[in-house]
Structure 1
């Protein structure tokens, strides 16, 4: 090899673990969004694995690479890098790769002039297809050398004893270069001693016999800049085990200064040994459940990129939803909740899937006929998203005006309902009858739970949020029963088929369910003030009434009624103090609630007023008759 031009091996061989791309997904969605600025990377080289790699030390990148703490917890050689993730694939492809490596190498050259150990770094350009879980990347380890600087090998020799040098580098993991002075002492590299040193000691990452890493170009270029008068130098390349070697090098430079005269390299070759990016499709390699957990909220997180940066998705995701009623409304509400990222949904229903249900209730199929609706719905949503915490509870909600026939069973149902209220944050009232909604409404006021109510007519619907006593802003809002002057009673007796079934235009349920869920999500968002309790998503209505006969929507805001059968203070206080005894009395006789709430007195006063109007009408008629 006498007087032969020095040859180099690959500086590093990259290996990107699947966890690296998973963390990139998370950062892109939650942190970076549209920010395409370079992100710092922190890796550690395990030089002991040099001989297990194909031709150089592996540059292993995983999820820890994004955390600076990984450098402190590792015993490897630290190396800093930068991730350049592009928002569009066209940007990734059209990047001027030569200009990119030139700029990065120039930065390394400038840094190396200040500290030779800082002229080593790596860069990763990438594009992440988050929908398909496909990633495109290209790793660059910038290497540079002056165009006018030539390096020739005068002599090659095997280093018999390298332990002294190996131990020196083991104690100084952040050093790439050292000097051997006239006293045969190893000292950190510095410009002054570089001019008189006996040898340049280099940590080498290549595994090829007697061929150093391409990073050597960086070190020798800096060395030549610091010691321009030296035309020869012994370079000792330190590797693990007994593979270290030394080269006597001839250095020749035309003394042309300036980084514009540097030549650059550094792009890694792909698996076809060509200069080009690599692609990874992780959709078939990673546990599908892990992919689903990250990608199920993709569209939601994209909202925060431009449209609603302040959107609090974690609060929505953490909310536990209780759906009382698993029919048409329950099915559509559940799908909308899943789309918003809710992870805990409990279905409650005592009915079974009938053969007429699957076409209108999207969680059910033909083979579900005969199954309990709550259990079948929970099973169905788990098929859509297996990581969803879904539970079905077969339960009859005690109904006001329906006398107790088996107190032990109904008391147990009540206790189970109380437990469900305690375990959840929001309760959706989606049942068929008014009296079924009464007890959950009372419980919602007593416990301060968020209650969202949705009810259907033939061509109309009502969606509302119940007020409760924990509201600190303004007068307490009304509930579903605040417009009634009678307590609910048994409305299910002596009904014809069209009265027993929910007869409604098929599109009404979708409209009501979607607005119920949107109202719930809006309630969880930061308030922005305004007369309508606006949030970052817009207005926060109390009631939404929709009419399909003229395709109109009406927003209403009504205060709580002082004598409401479900939310007035006497009713709520009695429930809190008496519990099941209160409920039992209401079930056996709905007039108990009318007396307690004051509705009976209101009814009596209304009757008296009506009698007075009748008397007035008679007197007016008599007077008119006399005039005639």
Structure 2
């Protein structure tokens, strides 16, 4: 942009220069003009640009040229000011370098000065923003698929025939850019592109097509046909597999290019509970492309289930009802045959539910424990989706011992909690437990906003919020009291959030060891491409509100504390039998909760005595 300088004054007024912004449409139009109209003509050409008043803060002042730059009568876009200029296009790089840039600038400045001196700028202020553009041509570009270092690919062949046929009378040679777009170590790389000069032979116009070549050779190097088996491409199962992932691919292509889908698709999920939560979690997992889903449940489908549990139908309730775990796995494969779904109709032994009444009962409990241990070991993520608190205890202990990510979801009437359990660091020889428990009270007693920046290995589990060991919660309760009664939409919300929490954890570089996000982090930069990675999500449907509390592991937790895990890892099933056959007292004595209760009671009595003496 040319500018005429006046006498320097005493003030220090400074100006922000234009930054040229040449749209790809401008270069396309220049190419067409050069090939079909200008050819070897290097005479200056009038062009037109504009600048926009309203860019975001931090952007430079831009002088824009687009495809309409060669039409001096083209309308100027809204909220833009026109600027007229001159294009100097040379035929070679040498002429471009040899051009007298200083002289060109002086000529443009003289034109501006003349418009000022004559008063023409008063009638047409656009003359004050005159610019000039110096370019050279001609280089043609081809998107080249060839990997050979010295030779171009087939797409260039017929383009050169076009160039020789149409432009050989104007150009003796052209410079060719074979653009090669590669990906090396996850980064885009164009250094494999090659540039060379091609001499164009003169081709007389002829209506006859030149001799053609191009039949592709087969695997034997001959000109025979090649056979292609399309049976797999026409298999509905294969077609379904490529189609179900379309939404996920669009997410990566359009919205979240850094999303690592492989981590999600390859994860193996164990769903303990195939009821309302289990069905909704499974459907959401399939939506994320998860291919390996296993159900564990010992219940059968009842008439009340299908309206709330979307994997079952009325026919599943007949003749006493199908086993939920088996029916759920079968339905997933009917929905999408590409999923690897299994179901295990089995019970999970629980604290306070004795197993020593007979040898048959004891052996069955042993088999159930062994099978559950094998299932937890063979999966990456364990979802706790059962009806009772005590049914979550054994899988929580096993998963903590095996360092598996646990996602827990529990429902009230109009409230829910979704959380990830703290992921213990693996033990190393001589190091002891690298995740020491912390002598703190449960989070429910201290409030949700007490802690911040807690890494995953220090986070609490579902039982860290309690000061009472799990027991038989269904004893002395009627059937209606044993059932969880919730608002119909609650399980869908909690189930979806449970899966989304798992996916967010998988997207974090540290996985289950990621620092927990809290409600205070909602305005901060998110740690993953999908957003926050909370420890807990507690929802209140009556208020349509969610909070994200964070809590430390409880050193007296009846499930994940070092005392419980050490006993389980040393004694195995014998330790578990003691828990199954005892009341609250065994676990509370082991972890120190009994002593905590006694100290708390003593403190309350002391406070009461003080009050009475006042």
Q: Is the Cα contact below 8 Å between 2:516 and 2:534 reproduced in 1? A: no
Q: Is the Cα contact below 8 Å between 2:165 and 2:203 reproduced in 1? A: no
Q: Unpaired segments of 5 or more residues in structure 2?
A: 1-140, 169-175, 179-199, 215-221, 225-229, 427-434, 436-454, 518-525
From 516, 521, 526, the counterpart of 2:503: 521
Deviation, 1:468, is 2.3
From 430, 433, 438, the counterpart of 2:385: 430
Q: Is the Cα contact below 8 Å between 2:233 and 2:239 reproduced in 1? A: no
SS in 2 for 1:482: helix
Q: Deviations over 1:92-140 (max 9, x none)?
A: xxxxxxxx986883389999xxxxxxx9x9xxxxxxxxxxxxxxxxxxx
CA distance, structure 2, for counterparts of residue 240 and residue 352 of structure 1: 64
> Which residue pairs with 2:340 in the alignment?
389
CA distance, structure 2, for counterparts of residue 240 and residue 410 of structure 1: 69
* 2:569 equivalent to 1:576: yes
Structure 1 residues 360, 283: closer, same or farther in 2, change over 3 A? farther
Q: Is the Cα contact below 8 Å between 1:283 and 1:291 reproduced in 2? A: no
From 317, 324, 330, the counterpart of 2:265: 317
* 2:306 equivalent to 1:355: no
> Which residue pairs with 2:406 in the alignment?
451
CA distance, structure 2, for counterparts of residue 485 and residue 38 of structure 1: 71
> Which residue pairs with 2:474 in the alignment?
492
Structure 1 residues 616, 510: closer, same or farther in 2, change over 3 A? same
Deviation, 1:483, is 1.4
CA distance, structure 2, for counterparts of residue 562 and residue 240 of structure 1: 76
SS in 1 for 2:607: helix
SS in 2 for 1:481: helix
Deviation, 1:213, is 4.0
> Which residue pairs with 2:542 in the alignment?
549
Instruction: Map residues 268-417 of structure 1 onto 2, 5 A cutoff.
Output: 286-369=234-317, 370-404=321-355, 405=357, 406-417=361-372
Q: Is the Cα contact below 8 Å between 1:428 and 1:452 reproduced in 2? A: yes
From 477, 484, 499, the counterpart of 2:459: 477
Deviation, 1:616, is 2.8
> Which residue pairs with 1:463 in the alignment?
418
Structure 1 residues 524, 494: closer, same or farther in 2, change over 3 A? same
Q: Is the Cα contact below 8 Å between 2:164 and 2:201 reproduced in 1? A: no
Q: Is the Cα contact below 8 Å between 2:417 and 2:536 reproduced in 1? A: yes
Q: Is the Cα contact below 8 Å between 2:352 and 2:579 reproduced in 1? A: yes
Q: Deviations over 1:330-378 (max 9, x none)?
A: 0000000000010000000000000000000000001111000000000
Deviation, 1:327, is 0.2
CA distance, structure 2, for counterparts of residue 312 and residue 214 of structure 1: 46
CA distance, structure 2, for counterparts of residue 508 and residue 300 of structure 1: 25
Deviation, 1:536, is 1.9
From 141, 159, 162, the counterpart of 1:105: 162
| TM-score in terms of structure 2 length | 0.58
Deviation, 1:306, is 2.9
CA distance, structure 2, for counterparts of residue 316 and residue 147 of structure 1: 58
Instruction: Map residues 146-165 of structure 1 onto 2, 5 A cutoff.
Output: 148-150=204-206
> Which residue pairs with 2:610 in the alignment?
616
SS in 1 for 2:416: strand
Instruction: Map residues 17-166 of structure 1 onto 2, 5 A cutoff.
Output: 40=144, 80-81=153-154, 105-106=162-163, 148-150=204-206
Q: Deviations over 1:540-584 (max 9, x none)?
A: 110100001111111100001110111111001111111111111
Q: Unpaired segments of 5 or more residues in structure 1?
A: 1-36, 43-67, 70-77, 84-99, 112-118, 122-143, 153-210, 217-238, 242-281, 621-628
Structure 1 residues 592, 296: closer, same or farther in 2, change over 3 A? same
Deviation, 1:497, is 3.1
Deviation, 1:145, is 9.9
Q: Is the Cα contact below 8 Å between 1:321 and 1:428 reproduced in 2? A: yes
- Looking at secondary structure, tell me which structure has more strand per residue: 1
Q: Deviations over 1:368-401 (max 9, x none)?
A: 1100000000001101110100000011011011
SS in 2 for 1:553: strand
Q: Deviations over 1:418-475 (max 9, x none)?
A: 0001110000000000000011111111110000000000001000000021288476
Q: CA RMSD in A?
A: 3.7
> Which residue pairs with 1:597 in the alignment?
591
Q: Is the Cα contact below 8 Å between 1:527 and 1:536 reproduced in 2? A: no
Q: Is the Cα contact below 8 Å between 2:424 and 2:457 reproduced in 1? A: no
Deviates more, 1:572-581 or 1:410-419: 572-581
CA distance, structure 2, for counterparts of residue 149 and residue 39 of structure 1: 27
Deviation, 1:147, is 6.7
CA distance, structure 2, for counterparts of residue 436 and residue 586 of structure 1: 12
Structure 1 residues 108, 301: closer, same or farther in 2, change over 3 A? farther
Q: Is the Cα contact below 8 Å between 1:332 and 1:510 reproduced in 2? A: yes
Deviation, 1:618, is 3.1
